[in-house]
Amino acid sequence: MAVSLWRTTTCILKRSVSLASVRYGHGPPSKQVDIHKGKVLSDEVGLPDSLGHSVGIERYELLANQAGDDDPFEMKVVKRAKGTFEEPTIIKSVNNKRMIGCICEEDALTINWMYVHKGEPKRCECGYWFKLEELHPKTYE
């Protein structure tokens, strides 16, 4: 009985000593540290606007809208031109190919999707011709 009491008390003492040494391994705790120190210039500074938080494609689109370009990716509907082989409907793209959809009839409920490649005019099932031309990317600052 005395041996088990001795083991229990020594285990409790060892635990409290080891916890204290880990807890105060770098010295006694000092005053509270300000984790935001140096991150805010002054009290007058607020959160940035949506342009300040945006990156990548979202930022490109916001800069284009500020510059007055409401369609920076050329995604709006293009009206068909004459549609002949000599005068095809011009589609612009930054890439070498683009997927387009042709609504062949005015009351059609389906869209005929097709790829148009640069330098190769493409004919739709309805007979209209499309041609892909290079679009130079715009820079906004």
Pick out the residues of the known binding site for Zn(2+): 102, 104, 124, 126
140, 73 in Cβ contact below 8 A? no
Q: Is 11 left (phi over 0), alpha (psi -120 to 50) or beta?
A: alpha
* Number of continuous H segments (helices) and E segments (strands) in the chain: 3, 5
What length does the chain have? 141
128, 80 in Cβ contact below 8 A? yes
H helix intervals, 1-141: 2-23, 50-53, 56-67
- Single-letter amino acid code for the residue at 26: H
Binding site residues, as ranges? 102, 104, 124, 126
Residue closest to 115 by CA, chosen among 128, 106, 124? 124
